[in-house]
Amino acid sequence: MIITMMVIMNQSEETGSMEVEDAMDKELVPVEENAEVQEKLDEIEKINLENEYSPKEREWLTSGPFQIDRSEYVLGEKIFLRINGISYDEKGQIVFLRPLNSSHYSVYWTIPFDGAERPAFNYYLEPQLSKIKGYCSVEDFIGDWRVVFRGTDYPNLEFKITEDILPGEEDSYESVC
């Protein structure tokens, strides 16, 4: 830290005079390093270097007025759904289907839409483990997903969730069942 101007004053009781020290542009150095804090900072830096993560560029896969931001996600990344320009008479459901195997899917999440109520909106979705819903491990999410637009003729969108986990989110993807 640099202090632009610091003045230290000492008053002498004997003379009634005052000394002024000009400490312009002097660097303040902490008297004592906190080893515990430094150790934690070093650990964080090491983890960041090991997990050099950078999200994939947004691609905006499009089907009619519906868009998702990427074709591939890692566990812990949010899937961004953008809806813009639904016709007044369009009504239906956006259905996210997770893979069960190479040929079958299961409904993960359903989002209703009605152009008469809201012609445009955004939605974030992040697949999360849930013992109650039966999503026990990362294997329940890894693979090729589909987004189906029920009540419309728009083609499906497809994306993939990989086995990689967003750095810092590892604890969120430990098996829960």
21-65 pLDDT, tens digit each:
554 555 545 545 567 767 777 776 766 666 667 788 899 999 999
Identify the CA nearest to 147 among candidates 136, 139, 137, 158.
158
Q: Report the pLDDT value the prediction gives residue 10, as an integer from 0 to 100.
A: 45
pTM of the model: 0.70
Domain that holds residue 41: 2-50
CB 96 within 8 A of CB 54: no
123, 119, 111: which is closest to 84 by C-alpha?
A: 119
CATH code assigned at 129: 2.60.40.1930
Residues 67 and 102 in one domain: yes
Specify if 55 maps to a domain. Answer: no
43 and 65 co-located in one domain? no
The answer on 67 and 12 residing in a single domain is no
Number of domains in the chain: 2
Q: How far apart are CA 154 and CA 27, in angstroms?
A: 64
Q: Which two structure tokens, joined as six digits, stand for 44?
A: 């964080």
